[in-house]
Amino acid sequence: MTPEQSTWFAETFDVLVGNVGRAVLGKEHVVRLALTAMLAEGHLLLEDAPGTGKTSLAKALAATVQGSHSRIQFTPDLLPSDVTGVTIYDQKAGVFEFHEGPVFASVVLADEINRASPKTQSALLEVMEESRVTVDRVSRPVGRPFMVIATMNPIEQAGTYRLPEAQLDRFLIKTSIGYPDHDSTIEILSASAERDRTLHLGARVTTRAVAEMADLAATVHTDESVLDYVARLAQATREDPQTALGVSVRGALALVRCAKVWAASQGRVYVIPDDVKLLAEPVLAHRMILDTEAEFAGVTQRQVLGRILAATRPPAARVPDA
Amino acid sequence: MSAATSTGARSTAADGVDVAGPTGDSPTAADVRRRRRGARLVDVVVLDGALCLAMLPLVPVYGVAAVVPPVAGGLVVGTLVALVAAARAWGAAVTTALVLLGYLLVGPTLAVPTASGGRLPSGDSVVLLLTGAVTVWKQVLTLDPTLGTTGNLLVAPLLLALVGSAVAVSGAARSRRGGPHGPRAAWSALVPVVVLGVSVVLATQETVAPVAAGVVLALLLLGWASWRVGTLAPRRPVALLLVVAALVGGGAAGGAWLGEQRPRLVLRDELVPPFDPRDQPSPLASFRRFVKDWGDDELLTVTGLPPGTPVRLATMDAFDGVVWDVAGAEAADGSGSYRRVGDTITSVPAGRTVEVAFEVERLPSVWLPTVGYARRFDFSGGLAGELAADLRYNDATGSAVLTSGVVPGARWTAEVVVPEVPDDEEIGDAPVADVRLPAAERVPDAVPVYAGDLAGTAATPVLVARSLEQGLAERGWFSHGLEGEAPSLSGHGAARLTTLLTGDLMVGDGEQYASAMALMAREMGLPSRVVMGFVPDDEDAADGSVAITGDDVEAWVEIAFVGHGWVPFHPTPDESKTPSDDVPQDESRPQPQVVQPPPPPVDPVRPPDDDTEQPRTEETDDDAREEDGLRRALLVAAAVSVPVALLLAPFVLVALAKRTRRRRRRRAGATVDRVVGGWEEMLDHARDLRRAVPASATRREAAVHLAGAFAGARRGAPAAERRGALGGRVARLASRADAMVFGPGDPSDADVEAYWAQVDETVRAMRGAVPWRQRVRARWSTASLRERRRARRLAARGRERGRQARRRRRDPRGARG
């Protein structure tokens, strides 16, 4: 990645942020996180209370990218075939024909994912990890880019199923939006006539450009000391007395991928420990499982991770050649 | 005794006093026995007489009547035991057992007459005797004389007499007079000296013919000792007379001189009594409560109170800016040393002796009402024993406390001395007494001004005091601040007194006026104290007994004059002098509740700046030129330079260590390491400036942290501007370092040099942002050096832990495989 390329990357990234930001006011950091997930070719999980703009963000993100996007509203009676597609016998032609389900799109918005039964949720698993759907022993790729933006209500709410850990691990970033600040709220309220802010958003970038940016971000230089830092963090989550299950290698890998995109979005051609530190919580927190005692004590993953971050010394120099 | 003894006696007879006679005839056995008996009698008389003299200092402690029986009995028993044991040649163990037996037999009668019923040994009296042998010494010292026959206090003189005589007589009787061991007997003369020492430290300052007793004791013991050693030569009267004259003259002159020069060392004065009145709240602070809550309640009844005499409750001589209080127990002659008392109290001033009876209805405090100066307290009723044990008395102020509080229903009779109150003419121009009082603290500024105003041209101390008293009484108005009265806050702290003296209307009650006058008197150099008590109305007295209510509470001032003691002054205006309608209305408007101002903040403790520890050198080269100038100069230079070098060594070492560190960071290692070194150099400077960055911070976080830390460093420029300037520099340093360390490729030498230039510039800016003292301190601070060592140790420990963890993980796998 050359400095010119990094400048282009950062400028494009800022354009996208600005575009999405028109729909989701005052939440630039969340928008940046969401775009980071997209450019790292991962999936995004938004958990928040109803009415905080989860769906708006997802729709705005989809609208910003030129390309197909679809939306699945998850309900308890949703079936796996409603997600992946179904093979139907064409009587006229006398052949079985596959009708693609809503997952065959560049950006898939899985709204209220934890309202569906675990079986249906699991139907997303293969697509999310391998970008392909296998129905009736035929495997079909979903294309590139492919991104699932899932929203969910906090698990304590009525009518929700808990997402299985395996699926949680497949989301690159999990974050929440939170309520807007005072000024943004006033702005939203003043345009109350506008039903859907995402309607007027135009596509700013082609799917090809997104793929290019993703390829470019993968070339960001990551010093060994930074990798060492990520490894130490992951190790610390596994050794912490309050965790039952720490961060997997997939999690550590995800952190590095995100850090690269984040660095490129700042116009840098190298990752610094700050990137890792900043992304650790949205990338790692949802992958940790606390032990029962800590859960009873009301400790959250964020707290444990915060403690680990404070205790793990970030690198200041390169790893000495040994 | 054996024949050998008599032979020895005979062979050296010529040296001794009992000369065998020039004829050389062998004395008969009867002669020897007779002579020996005579000598033994001399021993006993001299030693016991000396012991009696040695115990004279105990007489004022116990009183003659009390101390004679145990001393006499002890001497008799001790002497008898010693003589019998010596005659039978019993060993030391048997003799000791006999002494103990004698102690237990005669002890109950002689030493614990009150407890034993005076006669035969009982279980109780034996226990008292045995415990007394251990505890009596402390009790003798802590109880105020005269002790009398209370408890087992007489064990002390009994033991001294018994053991003293037993040891002394045994020593004398067991050595063969004049024989090879004869001189040893003279050591017995030391026993009375030791007993004298013990008696003196147990005694009081009061002495009984010290010079005469000392001279007689010395004569007795010296004469006896020389006789026993065999050097007494009665035929040399001139020499004897000379010795006697020298002793008498020296003793008389020396004794008188010593007695004048300094007080006798007695342990009693060195003791700090355990009851500390400072633990009690200031009695004066509850002044208003007496009027407000117990105004009409009957607090106590006093019978036999001489007319016009106040009842004293507490005497306070320490002002701390908030309250008048008694001084701490450590002030030996102040208002704070309360001691237990024995039968009677001897240290009372002259005056009229009266007997006053008290009966308490309710008086919720530890302070015991007294009149004048007490000579003795006799508690009666069911609680008499406990109350007597709780009683503590302060002879400096004549006030007393019951350590566990004055209980309702307490009754006692006090034999008191009421000193005459002299009038101004009697006092005349007597100077004020030299009394050690705790200095008044945080005296409001208004006090000296007002005092000077009131004192005017008064010439003598008593007139100064009188003008203060009259000035306050005339200018002030009276009010307790109760409902329906003019507003007057309670309390007598600095703020209240300032209001009293500088407010539009001087209004208050005894609490405020007495406090104000006492402080003014101190300002004028008069030793003053505040007394709180009751002044009952004379017409209330019915058949000699007067009931005291809360309304009778009063506070006044006492000032000490030479030859007249503490003289009372009453500065409070008459109770009828209340501010009325003729006073302008706005002056009587209610004052807002004024909270006592908190004491001024204590100056923050600052560690001394390192650079102030410059060596102080003496100017010693004044006469260096006169003789041998060069050598002296060299010596002085050496003498000065060695301590200077020692003093400077730490600074030099610190500077050297920092320079070495900087050079290594800048020159050694790969270019990337040198960039990291530059950043660390900057962090270490920040650490030395007491603005350390947490270890878990990345470079950018550190930059933010430092920008904030230095923004508050110096007042003057707006904070945002300073934060912007320095914060921007540090942030640029952080991102440049990040780019070179974490970016691809290695930085060039030029990059490193440019980076270090930037580091130096930033460090200069940081140092410029703090006051000069911090700059100087930072230069010699070892904080960064220590931190680096700590970090290295931590890192080593972390590596070791990592190795162990890896080994643990490998081992179980190996075991399974």
Q: What is the pLDDT of residues B162-186, one digit of tens each?
A: 999 999 998 888 776 555 446 777 8
Which of B366-370, B578-582, B586-590 shows the highest mean pLDDT?
Answer: B366-370
Residue B760 to chain A, least CA–CA distance (Å) = 19
Inter-chain touch B695–A313, beta carbons under 8 Å: yes
Contact status, residue A37 vs residue A43, Cβ threshold 8 Å = yes
Residue A206 to chain B, least CA–CA distance (Å) = 30
In a domain, B594, yes or no: no
Q: A145 in contact with B at a CB cutoff of 8 Å? A: no
Inter-chain touch B698–A226, beta carbons under 8 Å: no
Both tokens of B350, joined, read: 């002259």
Both tokens of B300, joined, read: 């106590």
Inter-chain touch A274–B739, beta carbons under 8 Å: no
Inter-chain touch A221–B743, beta carbons under 8 Å: yes
Looking at the structure, do residues B564 and B440 belong to the same domain, yes or no?
A: yes
Helix H or strand E segment including B659: helix B629-667
In a domain, B722, yes or no: yes
Residues 6+ apart with CB under 8 A from B642: none
Q: A189 in contact with B at a CB cutoff of 8 Å? A: no
In a domain, B189, yes or no: yes
**In B, which residues are within 8 Å of A273 by CB distance?**
698-699, 742
**In A, which residues are within 8 Å of B679 by CB distance?**
316
**In B, which residues are within 8 Å of A271 by CB distance?**
742
List B residues 701-720 in contact with A (Cβ-Cβ < 8 A). Answer: 701
Of A223, A310, A312, the CB nearest to B742: A223
Residue B816 pLDDT class (50, 70, 90 cuts)? very low
In a domain, B681, yes or no: yes
Inter-chain touch A221–B742, beta carbons under 8 Å: yes
User: pLDDT at residue B20 above 50?
Assistant: no
Of A269, A277, A312, the CB nearest to B743: A269
**Confidence (pLDDT) at B23:** 46
**From the CB of residue A67, how many other CB atoms can be counted at a distance below 10 Å?**
19
Among residues B187, B140, B185, B186, the alpha carbon closest in space to that of B159 is found at B140
Q: What is the pLDDT of residues B512-549, one digit of tens each?
A: 999 999 998 888 888 899 999 988 876 666 667 888 88
Contact status, residue A269 vs residue A7, Cβ threshold 8 Å = no
**Confidence (pLDDT) at B16:** 41
Both tokens of B298, joined, read: 């009957």
Looking at the structure, do residues B814 and B705 belong to the same domain, yes or no?
A: no
Q: A318 in contact with B at a CB cutoff of 8 Å? A: yes
**In B, which residues are within 8 Å of A221 by CB distance?**
742-744
| One-letter amino acid of A149 | I
Range of the domain at B282: 277-578
Largest CA distance in chain A: 71
Q: A311 in contact with B at a CB cutoff of 8 Å? A: yes
Q: A272 in contact with B at a CB cutoff of 8 Å? A: yes
User: pLDDT at residue A105 above 70?
Assistant: yes
Residue B744 to chain A, least CA–CA distance (Å) = 6
Looking at the structure, do residues B350 and B431 belong to the same domain, yes or no?
A: yes
**Confidence (pLDDT) at B291:** 87
**In B, which residues are within 8 Å of A318 by CB distance?**
672-673, 741
Inter-chain touch A221–B741, beta carbons under 8 Å: no
* Residues B678-682: contacts with CB under 8 Å, at least 24 apart: B678/B733, B678/B737, B678/B752, B678/B755, B678/B756, B678/B758, B678/B759, B679/A316, B679/B733, B679/B734, B679/B737, B679/B759, B680/A316, B681/B759, B681/B763, B682/B730, B682/B733, B682/B759, B682/B762, B682/B763, B682/B766
For residue B463, with 0-12 CB atoms within 10 Å meaning exposed, 13-18 middle and 19 or more buried, which class applies? middle
Residue B97 pLDDT class (50, 70, 90 cuts)? very high
User: pLDDT at residue B330 above 60?
Assistant: no
List B residues 431-490 in contact with A (Cβ-Cβ < 8 A). Answer: none
Q: A306 in contact with B at a CB cutoff of 8 Å? A: no
Q: B676 in contact with A at a CB cutoff of 8 Å? A: yes
Inter-chain touch A223–B700, beta carbons under 8 Å: no
Which of B674, B696, B698, B704 has the most A C-beta neighbours within 10 Å, making it the best mutation to test the interface with A?
A: B698
**Confidence (pLDDT) at A272:** 92
Low-confidence winner among B342-346, B424-428, B683-687 (lowest mean pLDDT): B342-346
Looking at the structure, do residues B477 and B509 belong to the same domain, yes or no?
A: yes
Both tokens of B58, joined, read: 């105990």
The C-alpha atoms of residue B523 and residue B439 are separated, in whole angstroms, by 10
Inter-chain touch B696–A313, beta carbons under 8 Å: yes
Q: For residues B627-645, give the mean pLDDT.
A: 81
Residue B708 to chain A, least CA–CA distance (Å) = 19
Residue B741 to chain A, least CA–CA distance (Å) = 6
At which of B229, B261, B293 does a domain end? B261
Mean pLDDT of chain B: 79
In chain A, domain spans? 1-192, 219-322
Residue B799 to chain A, least CA–CA distance (Å) = 13
Largest CA distance in chain B: 130
Higher-confidence residue of A50 and A46: namely A46
Which residue in chain A is spatially nearest to B697 when comparing CA positions? Answer: A314
**In B, which residues are within 8 Å of A311 by CB distance?**
696
Residue B765 pLDDT class (50, 70, 90 cuts)? confident
**In A, which residues are within 8 Å of B680 by CB distance?**
316
Q: How far is CA B30 from the centre of its chain?
A: 65
Inter-chain touch B680–A271, beta carbons under 8 Å: no
| One-letter amino acid of B170 | S
Residues 6+ apart with CB under 8 A from B490: B287, B288, B481, B511
Among residues B504, B779, B510, the alpha carbon closest in space to that of B652 is found at B779
Residue A156 pLDDT class (50, 70, 90 cuts)? low
The C-alpha atoms of residue B193 and residue A45 are separated, in whole angstroms, by 100
Q: A310 in contact with B at a CB cutoff of 8 Å? A: yes
Both tokens of B40, joined, read: 């033994």
Q: What is the pLDDT of residues B470-524, one digit of tens each?
A: 888 888 888 888 888 888 888 888 888 888 888 888 888 889 999 999 998 888 8
Q: What is the pLDDT of residues B279-312, one digit of tens each?
A: 788 888 888 888 888 888 888 888 888 888 888 8
Looking at chain A, the whole-number percentage of residues with pLDDT higher than 70 is: 98
In a domain, B621, yes or no: no
Domain count of the fold of chain B? 4
Pairing of strands B565-569, A147-152: unpaired
Of A309, A311, A317, the CB nearest to B741: A317
The CATH superfamily of A1-192 is P-loop containing nucleotide triphosphate hydrolases (3.40.50.300)
Inter-chain touch A274–B698, beta carbons under 8 Å: yes
In a domain, B600, yes or no: no
Looking at chain B, the whole-number percentage of residues with pLDDT higher than 70 is: 82
CATH class, range A219-322: mainly alpha
Which residue in chain B is spatially nearest to A227 when comparing CA positions? Answer: B742
At which of B578, B611, B636 does a domain end? B578
**From the CB of residue A228, how many other CB atoms can be counted at a distance below 10 Å?**
13
Higher-confidence residue of B261 and B748: namely B748
**In B, which residues are within 8 Å of A314 by CB distance?**
696-698
Of B672, B676, B744, the CB nearest to A270: B744
At which of B261, B290, B310 does a domain end? B261
In a domain, B137, yes or no: yes
Q: A249 in contact with B at a CB cutoff of 8 Å? A: no
Inter-chain touch A274–B700, beta carbons under 8 Å: yes
**Confidence (pLDDT) at B18:** 44
Inter-chain touch B672–A270, beta carbons under 8 Å: no
Residues 6+ apart with CB under 8 A from B539: none
Residue A284 to chain B, least CA–CA distance (Å) = 19
Residues paired with A87 in a beta bridge: A98
**In B, which residues are within 8 Å of A312 by CB distance?**
696
Of A274, A312, A318, the CB nearest to B741: A318
Cα separation values, B172 from B71, B76, B141, B548, Å: 20, 16, 32, 67
Inter-chain touch B741–A225, beta carbons under 8 Å: yes
* Residues B586-591: contacts with CB under 8 Å, at least 24 apart: B586/B504, B587/B504, B587/B505, B588/B486, B588/B487, B588/B505, B590/B487, B591/B487, B591/B489, B591/B499, B591/B503
The C-alpha atoms of residue B486 and residue B715 are separated, in whole angstroms, by 49
Q: For residues B585-613, give the mean pLDDT.
A: 57
Residue B813 pLDDT class (50, 70, 90 cuts)? very low
Length of chain B: 817
In a domain, B584, yes or no: no
Q: What is the ipTM of this complex?
A: 0.83
Inter-chain touch B700–A272, beta carbons under 8 Å: yes
**From the CB of residue B563, how many other CB atoms can be counted at a distance below 10 Å?**
11
**Confidence (pLDDT) at A233:** 92
**Confidence (pLDDT) at B118:** 53
Looking at the structure, do residues B287 and B156 belong to the same domain, yes or no?
A: no
**Confidence (pLDDT) at A167:** 77
Both tokens of B202, joined, read: 């147990």
Residue B10 pLDDT class (50, 70, 90 cuts)? very low
Which residue in chain B is spatially nearest to A311 when comparing CA positions? Answer: B696
Buried b (16+ CB within 10 A) or exposed e, B215-247: bbbbbbbbbbbbbbbbebeeeeeeeeeeebeeb
Which of B674, B742, B797, B804 has the most A C-beta neighbours within 10 Å, making it the best mutation to test the interface with A?
A: B742
User: pLDDT at residue B144 above 90?
Assistant: no
Q: For residues B791-798, give the mean pLDDT.
A: 76
**Confidence (pLDDT) at A47:** 86
Helix H or strand E segment including A278: helix A273-284
The C-alpha atoms of residue B551 and residue B393 are separated, in whole angstroms, by 26
Looking at the structure, do residues B559 and B698 belong to the same domain, yes or no?
A: no
Inter-chain touch A269–B738, beta carbons under 8 Å: no
Residue B120 pLDDT class (50, 70, 90 cuts)? low
Q: How far is CA A135 from the centre of its chain?
A: 25
Inter-chain touch B673–A317, beta carbons under 8 Å: yes
Looking at chain A, the whole-number percentage of residues with pLDDT higher than 90 is: 16
For residue B356, with 0-12 CB atoms within 10 Å meaning exposed, 13-18 middle and 19 or more buried, which class applies? buried
